[in-house]
Amino acid sequence: MNTPAPYYHAVGKEVEVFGHAYQNKIPFLLKGPTGTGKSRFIEYMAHQLDRTLVTISCHEETSSTDLIGRFIIKGAETVWIDGPLTRAVKEGSIIYLDEIAEARPDIIVSIHSLTDHRRELFIDKLGETIKAHPDFMLVASFNPGYQRGFKELKPSTRQRFIAMSFNYPEESIETTILEAESNVDPADAKKLVQIGNKIRNLTELGLSETVSTRLLVDAAKLIHSGLPKRLSVKVSVIEPLTDDPDVLQALGDLSDLMI
Ligand code: ADP
């Protein structure tokens, strides 16, 4: 492939594990909060393995029809159009179902036969079963933090995947990522990561999601492009986290002290 490899800094054994999962075509589940590099990791692995990556961002309206395909009316005819999952199964791509627990339950049913020894997709509207291309692989992500109640992934579904947890990288790695992604000054990258870690440790604030690497990268980009540092942190790290005026004030004061 001629496109440059996406930048990904490994944080553990994920590259090695994914390589073996791909060799064996075992479905792979990435668990972890938003902005911890899950999508970037899959882009990187698809590039390394020279496979096309098809990403579906799942939401509560995503149904198996969206993935498998539908009939559309074309003039006087009804024509079948393959959905992205069907195309990936036929062509041997890697499909990435981002936030799979968000999607409608019929998606889980439709991937069952793809995630076991059968490796086949049943298209009920056509009454057809397709065998997956040998290169096809299914990858999914989910965020255990905010998936509650019925949005939890059922154990019977989870057990169809091997799984790895993604989290915020340790300080030195996260600093390196910020530098690489934004070209920000190393001292500023370090300070941003320290602010991020400080806020992550403030569990008493009860934030539903805390500072992701993505937010820190955004702050680093703004600083690098010349926006004042404190303002950069305010708009990219603090404001996205909360609307509570007291918490905003407290986090603002904290970060102003640090940068
Ligand atoms: P997720 O899919 O977990 O929500 P992303 O893969 O979109 O997160 O990561 C968000 C951003 O964080 C990326 O665009 C990238 O800038 C940065 N990032 C996070 N972790 C890494 C990593 N290990 N290597 C390179 N970039 C990373």
CA of 238 to the centre of ligand 1 (A): 18
Please report the pLDDT score of residue 146 as a whole number: 53
Cβ atoms 199, 224 nearer than 8 A: no
* Identity of the amino acid at 195: I
Q: Kindly report the protein residue whose alpha carbon is nearest to atom 6 of ligand 1.
A: 37
Please indicate whether residue 71, judged by its CB atom, sits closer than 6 Å to ligand 1: no
Write down the pTM of the prediction.
0.93
Cα–Cα distance between 192 and 205 in angstroms, integer?
A: 19
Q: Kindly report the protein residue whose alpha carbon is nearest to atom 25 of ligand 1.
A: 8
pLDDT band at 227 (very low <50, low <70, confident <90, very high): very high
Q: Is the pLDDT assigned to residue 110 strictly greater than 80? A: yes
Q: What is the pLDDT of residues 197-224, one digit of tens each?
A: 999 999 888 887 889 999 999 999 999 9
Cβ atoms 141, 18 nearer than 8 A: no
Q: Which residue has the higher pLDDT, 1 or 150?
A: 1
Cβ atoms 220, 203 nearer than 8 A: no
Please indicate whether residue 39, judged by its CB atom, sits closer than 6 Å to ligand 1: yes
Please report the pLDDT score of residue 203 as a whole number: 84
- CA 86, 164, 49, 56 dihedral sign is positive
Please give the number of the atom of ligand 1 that sits closest to the Cα of 213.
Answer: 12
Please report the pLDDT score of residue 205 as a whole number: 84
- Residue 64: closest CA among 114, 23, 111: 111
Quote the percentage of the chain above a pLDDT of 70: 97
Cα–Cα distance between 42 and 200 in angstroms, integer?
A: 25
Tell me what the mean pLDDT of segment 190-195 comes to.
98
Per the DSSP assignment, residues forming a β-bridge with 121 are 130
Q: Which residue has the higher pLDDT, 109 or 129?
A: 129
The phi-psi region of residue 37 (left if phi > 0; otherwise alpha if psi is between -120 and 50; otherwise beta) is left
Cβ atoms 180, 47 nearer than 8 A: no
pLDDT band at 149 (very low <50, low <70, confident <90, very high): very low
Mean of per-residue pLDDT scores for the chain? 93
Q: What is the pLDDT of residues 19-76, one digit of tens each?
A: 999 999 999 999 998 899 999 999 999 999 999 999 999 999 999 999 999 999 999 9
CA of 213 to the centre of ligand 1 (A): 6
Q: In degrees rounded to 5, what are phi and psi of residue 139? A: -130, 145
Please report the pLDDT score of residue 162 as a whole number: 96
Q: Is the pLDDT assigned to residue 156 strictly greater than 90? A: no
Tell me what the mean pLDDT of segment 151-164 comes to.
88
* DSSP conformation class of 57: E
Q: Which residue has the higher pLDDT, 84 or 205?
A: 84
CA of 34 to the centre of ligand 1 (A): 9
Hey, which CATH number is domain 14-165, 3.10.180.10, 3.40.50.300, 3.60.9.10, 3.40.190.10? 3.40.50.300
